[in-house]
Each structure stands twice: as structure tokens, then as C-alpha cells.
Amino acid sequence: MGCGKTKVKVSVVTSTETPRLKIHRTLIRKHTKNFNEEYQSGNKIGTGGFAEVRRCTHKLTGMMRAVKIYYKNQFPADYIASGGLGQEIEILRMIDHPNIVKVYEYFEDEKCFYITMEFCMGGELFDKISTKEKLSESTVCDIMRQLLSVIAYLHEKNIAHRDLKPENILLEDRNEELSLKLADFGNAVIFTKGKLLKGETGTSYYMAPEVVDSEYSEKCDEWSSGVILYMLLSGNPPFTGNNDEEIISNVKKQEFSLEGQEFAKVSDEAKDLIKKLLQPESTRFTAIEALSHLWFLSNPIRKNVRQATLSSVSHNLKNYKSSTALKEAIRAFIISQIITTKDMRPFREVFSVIDEDQDGKINEKDLVAYFAKNMNPNEAETEAQNVFKHMDSETKCLEYSEYLRLTLDSSMIMSRNNLVIAFNMLDVDKTGSVSAEKLMLAIGNSSQDINIWKAVIEEAVRRKDGSIELPQFIELLLHKI
Ligand code: 3AM
């Protein structure tokens, strides 16, 4: 289950001498350079609302990424009214989940905003529904488990997505195993518990009836997930029509059929879950309730988790030692900006194995249960408590990036090559050195005290002049600490 109210920022583990250093959980910086200086723009992938999406190559890492380009003169009034790009970025900075598209940074020039993100090679979930080939019920179950996990995670953070649809659900790659990546937070809002949302938003097929003409809660997302489940199992939407008006009028009637040829082979449990999600708001299941539905319990997670990765995660969790604040900050930066999704994949799979209740976070209970698979319960509890001791976090729960920081092998993160790339990325103005100001810009946030970053460098280099050159940077991070 959830870990209580989570803070947007986390404390990076520091040695005792260093002042408390805070970095954003999700490092999405506003880049001071021009988009075209950092990226080679590629072909257009598609158009979404008032933005277009293109492939692009990140020049320093050679990584293929996607960029969403917003033309300032095309921003619609309702987008601006609901907080515009500022709110979208704020939300993206709050979220850190393996099934949400990873965002790297954003740029602004006279005409456009650019948000760069991971490139999802598998295309849209929508294409899976449109093909003739029917998905097996266990595959649909895997997809829904991931989707509901994201919804549970977002709602716990008081974020409503408000535009869940198969076009916004991308697939990480073309593998058999479908790894979802939820994209497009253009309609998302931060809500206050107990206060209703306003404004008709979303796409007619997936829109909850209460969204159409009244106030509503975050549970509009669970309704959309029910529509998606219905479509994945049958290939058709539950509410149809020849135009938006007709579709919406059928949505409002809330009548749908689970009979007919398409549902002949669908299990009663799956049909029951559809009914629980396509309910009036007051009786509709929450994502957390849906995740403990019998349908999921009778279709256990199918993961090809390699024993070697499981052992490595356990070993790294148990033996994690905090080091200097500089090293922790650079680790976080490299994981966030340089390690590829492909390299992270085996670790992501272990994350969802440990996160037993699938709420997108690893809490103490999850960790004890995981350790207890290979040791007695008392030892498991002690090991779990040790992990959180290193975290310096009151919430006692690991979000995805923190989990990666603790579990990815140091040799993979802190390789010479990655350190050179990291240095060059941090040295934005190419002066040949990295200063406290540059670290704060990339890893911290502007409201932070620059003296903390100066102390971080001082602690590492034992000098007060406040900047590091490449050979020293590598020497410090590879060997000394
Ligand atoms: O225009 P279509 O529907 O083909 O799948 C998204 C959509 O494609 C694609 O860009 C279009 C507008 O949203 N898209 C969005 N983000 C993407 C990403 N991170 C993406 N494709 C790959 N990776």
C-alpha cells in the first residue's frame, strides 16, 4: 500500500559532515542551451493535440529519444487556463514510476517549448487493439496490472491523468512482453482530496459520465481504465456512436453489453472487474481495490526475472553504503540521464516483483516479504530496516529512481565513459570545469542554497575553490570515494 504523503524532494544520503543535500526525485531540468545544440532532430512521429512529436538523437550520449514540440502560438486557451506547460512540468517532476514515460529535460526558444523523453519503440497500445490478432486474457491482465499500478500511484500523489486512452499508452519496445509507458500529461491536474474537479476533458470513448456535465473526482481515470479493459478483451469500445455527441449520450446511459461472440471466451472474473470499473462514481472501484480483484489473483505476474538480477538486487540492497554527497548526486544524475531503459529493464522487472501490491513504490512490508523468501522473518525485518536507514527518508518507501540508485551495480553506473558524458553534460557552457552552480542547476533546484552545493564539492575535493575539472572528477568518482 501507499507510504503516506510523499514529498516531491528526497534527501540524498550524505556523509555526516555534509549539509543536507536535496535533489529532485525526477531530474527534469530546464536546459539553458538551445534544443538544436544538444539534439539532432529526426523525423516526425505524430501529432498530439497542439504539439508534434519527433524522433531525435541526444548528441552527447548518442541516445535516440523523442521530443514533444509545443508551438507557443498554438496553445489553446483551456490549456493555458489550467496551468499550461508549467503545470505539466510540475506534474512530471513529481512522478517516478517504471510505467510512466521518462522525461529528460525541456528547452524553450522564441517560438517553441521542447520536452525530451524516452523513445518508445513499441508504438501505441491502440495498435494492439486494432490488429485482428486477439490478445490472450493473461496478456490483457499483465497490461491492466501495469495501468492500474500507475493510476494507484498517481492518485496517491493527488494527480489525476484525465485522458487515459490506448493512444496515450505506449509500449517500451516490440517484445512479446508488453511493457507499458503512460505518456501525455497535458490534461493532468493536481487535485485536493475531497474537492471535486471541473472541466470537461478527455476523449469521448473513454470519458466518465460524470465528467461530461458535472463535477467529478480522480475516479474518472478508473472509468477510462474500465473502457480500456473492455476494449482489450473484446476489440470494441463499450460505448459507441457515429459522432462525439452520440458516443457521449451512450456513455451517460452507462449501458454496455458483456454478451456476444467477443465475450464468449472471456472469464467471469474479467467481466466482473469491467463491471466494477464501469460503475457510477460512488460505487466504482479504486485502482487499489481493482488490483486486489480475484482476476489478478488468479493470473499471477508472469515475469522473466533472471536469477542473476534477483541476486544482484538483494546483494546491492543489503550492502548499500552511503558515500559522499557528490558521489550520490552524480549517481542519481547518471541513472536519470544516461543509463538506457534497456540496461535498466532487468532491474525494473525485479522492482515489480518486490512491489507486491503494485502501487508503484516499495515500502517496508514489501521489502520484508522479499527478503523473507531467503531468510528468516527476523533477519528479513532487520535487513529491510537497514535499507531505510540509508535512505534518510521519513516515508520509509523507495520510489523507482531511489530503488535504482540503491540497486544498480556501481560498475554499470560509474564507468569512465559515463563519467565523461556526465561531466560534459554538467559543464553546460563548456568552460572545462564543473562548479557548485552547475551542479545545482542540473541536479538540485533553484530554490536551494548554493552554499550546500559548495560544501558538497568542498567535502569531495577538500578544497575551497569550488570547481572540479575532468581528470579530478573522474579520479574522485572512480577511485577515491
Ligand atoms: O500520431 P501517432 O498516433 O502515430 O504514439 C504517439 C503518437 O503517434 C507518438 O507521437 C504521436 C503523438 O502523440 N509518441 C508520443 N510520445 C512518444 C514516445 N515517447 C511517441 N512515440 C514514441 N516515443
Tell whether 318 and 457 lie within a shared domain: yes
Tell whether 145 and 253 lie within a shared domain: yes
- What pLDDT, on the 0 to 100 scale, is given for residue 463? 62
User: Per-residue pLDDT for 378 more than 70?
Assistant: yes
- What pLDDT, on the 0 to 100 scale, is given for residue 119? 95
Q: 53: CA distance to ligand 1 center in Å? A: 6
Ligand 1: residue whose CA is nearest its atom 13: 48
Report the range of poorest mean pLDDT among 93-107, 239-253, 441-455.
441-455
Report the range of poorest mean pLDDT among 66-70, 350-354, 451-455.
451-455
Last residue of a domain, one of 268, 297, 326: 297
- What pLDDT, on the 0 to 100 scale, is given for residue 43? 96
- What pLDDT, on the 0 to 100 scale, is given for residue 458? 80
* Residue range 184-195: mean pLDDT, rounded: 92
Ligand 1: residue whose CA is nearest its atom 15: 53
- What pLDDT, on the 0 to 100 scale, is given for residue 118? 94
Q: 247: CA distance to ligand 1 center in Å? A: 25
Last residue of a domain, one of 118, 152, 167: 118
Tell whether 362 and 213 lie within a shared domain: no
User: Per-residue pLDDT for 81 more than 70?
Assistant: yes
Site to substitute for ligand 1 among 119, 170, 172, 203, most atoms within 8 A of C-beta = 170
Q: 450: CA distance to ligand 1 center in Å? A: 39
- What pLDDT, on the 0 to 100 scale, is given for residue 133? 73
Contact criterion met (CB below 8 Å) for 37 and 433: no
Tell whether 105 and 224 lie within a shared domain: no
163 classed as catalytic: yes
**What is the domain range of residue 84?**
31-118
Tell whether 76 and 148 lie within a shared domain: no
Report the range of poorest mean pLDDT among 16-20, 103-107, 190-194, 304-308.
16-20
What does the pLDDT look like over 278-316, one tens digit per residue?
999 999 999 999 999 999 999 887 767 778 888 889 888
| CATH number for position 183 | 1.10.510.10
Q: Which residues does a 6 A CB cutoff place in the pocket of ligand 1?
A: 45-48, 53, 66, 101, 117-120, 124, 167, 170, 183
Tell whether 91 and 167 lie within a shared domain: no
| CATH number for position 46 | 3.30.200.20
Tell whether 104 and 178 lie within a shared domain: no
- What pLDDT, on the 0 to 100 scale, is given for residue 5? 38
The rounded mean pLDDT for the chain is 87
Band of the pLDDT at 2, cuts 50, 70, 90?
Answer: very low
Report the range of poorest mean pLDDT among 127-141, 371-385, 391-405, 446-460.
446-460
- What pLDDT, on the 0 to 100 scale, is given for residue 417? 94
Tell whether 253 and 326 lie within a shared domain: no
| CATH number for position 19 | 1.10.238.10
User: Per-residue pLDDT for 421 more than 80?
Assistant: yes
Q: 71: CA distance to ligand 1 center in Å? A: 17
Last residue of a domain, one of 101, 118, 135: 118
Tell whether 244 and 380 lie within a shared domain: no
Q: Which residue has the higher pLDDT, 453 or 444?
A: 453
Catalytic residue among 96, 142, 163, 221: 163
* Residue range 459-468: mean pLDDT, rounded: 72
Total number of domains in the chain: 3
User: Per-residue pLDDT for 391 more than 80?
Assistant: no
- What pLDDT, on the 0 to 100 scale, is given for residue 327? 86
Ligand 1: residue whose CA is nearest its atom 1: 46
User: Per-residue pLDDT for 9 more than 60?
Assistant: no
Ligand 1: residue whose CA is nearest its atom 6: 46
Band of the pLDDT at 161, cuts 50, 70, 90?
Answer: very high
